[in-house]
Amino acid sequence: MAIRIVTDSTADLPKEMVEELNITVVPLNVHFGEEVFLDWVELSPEDFFTKLPQTDLLPRTSQPSPGDFQKAYEEVGGSGDAIISVHISQGLSGTYQSATMARDLLPDMDITVIDSKVASMALGFIVLEAARAAKAGKSKEEVLEIIDFYMQETRVLFMVDTLEYLQKNGRIGKAQAFLGGLLKMKPILSLKDGGIIPVEKARGSKKALQTIVDLLKGMLPPEGKVKGAVVHGNALATAEALVEELKKIYDISEVIITPVGAVIGCHTGPGLVGLLFFPDREQ
C-alpha cells in the first residue's frame, strides 16, 4: 500500500516539485467580481499581480467544495492507497472543513486529514517533506511523525506593505493591534495557533528585513543545518536579498524562493516577503 499526499493550492508549491513528488493539489477559487479562477491553475501568480492594480474590485477567495476533495480522493486512493491530506489552517480558511466532509463521505477509504495551522510555503514545506518520505517508502505512521515534527518546528515571519488586504478580507486576526500606527512603518507578522499575530514593526523595507533576520535568530538559533523557503508577492529582488542575509548566518541545506499564489496574494497584497525555516531533520 502506497501513501498518497494531497494538499491545497495555498501551499504555493512550485509546479515542478508537485510533479516530481506526485502531490495532488486541490485548488481554491479566486473571485474578481463575477469572474472565478482556479488558484495556480487558471490564474498564475504573475497574472494575478498584474491584474490586481488594474481593477477596483477587491478580489476574494473561496475554498474547494467537499465534492472537489471527494473527486480527488477517489482518483488518488481508488486502488487502496492510504491518503494523507494536509491543509491550510482552519483559522484562515474553510478548506480543512471541506476536506474532512469529503473524508466522511468515503468511509471505506483510508484518509487522514490534517490542519497544518499554517499557510503558503510553511504548509508547502510540510507537504514536501511528507511526499519525500512517502516516495522513500516510509510507513503511514512515519510520514505522520515527520508532518508533526515540521508542524512543531517551523518558524514563520513575514512583512506586508499594508494591512489593508488582510483587514478587508477578514484575516487580520490579532494583527488588528497594528492598525492606525503604521505610517511609513512595515508590519512584521507571524502565525500562531493557526492565526496571524503581530510581532514587530520597522521603518522601511530595509530595516524590516534586518528585523526579520534578527527575530529569526531568536526563534531558531544558528546552530546546525536549517532549511526552508522565502516567499514573495511580486517582490523577487527583496526575497533574494533576504536569502543572502540568511546565508551569512545559517548553514542552509535547502532554500526555495517562490511567489505566493493568488489566494495568499488576495490576503497579503503585493510587496509581501516572508520566510519559514526549521532545523534540518536529516542532519
The domain defined by 3-28+63-152 carries CATH number 3.40.50.10170: yes
Task: Give the pLDDT score at 198.
Answer: 86
- Record the cell numbers describing residue 87, joined without a space: 491543509
Closest CA to 172 of 197, 155, 152: 197
DSSP characters for 81-97?
-EEEEEES-TTT-SHHH
How far is the C-alpha of 145 from the C-alpha of 273, rounded, in Å? 29
3-state class (DSSP) for residue 15: helix
Closest CA to 6 of 131, 109, 192, 91: 131
- The sign of the torsion formed by the CA atoms of 280, 281, 282, 283 equals positive
- Record the cell numbers describing residue 271, joined without a space: 510587496
C-alpha to C-alpha distances, 24 to 70, 136, 228, nearest whole angstrom? 12, 17, 21
C-alpha to C-alpha distances, 247 to 80, 213, 240, nearest whole angstrom? 44, 11, 11
According to CATH, the topology of domain 155-279 is Hypothetical Protein Tm841; Chain: A;domain 3 (3.30.1180)
Q: Do domains 3-28+63-152 and 155-279 have the same CATH topology?
A: no
pTM of the model: 0.93
Per-residue pLDDT of the chain (283 residues; tens, 9 = 90+): 799 999 999 999 999 999 999 999 999 999 999 999 999 999 999 999 999 999 888 899 999 999 999 999 999 997 889 999 999 999 999 999 999 999 999 999 999 999 999 999 999 999 999 999 999 999 999 999 999 999 999 999 999 887 776 777 656 565 554 554 555 678 899 998 999 888 998 888 889 999 999 999 999 999 999 999 999 999 999 999 999 999 999 999 999 999 999 999 998 999 999 999 999 987 5
| Domains of the chain by residue range | 3-28+63-152, 155-279
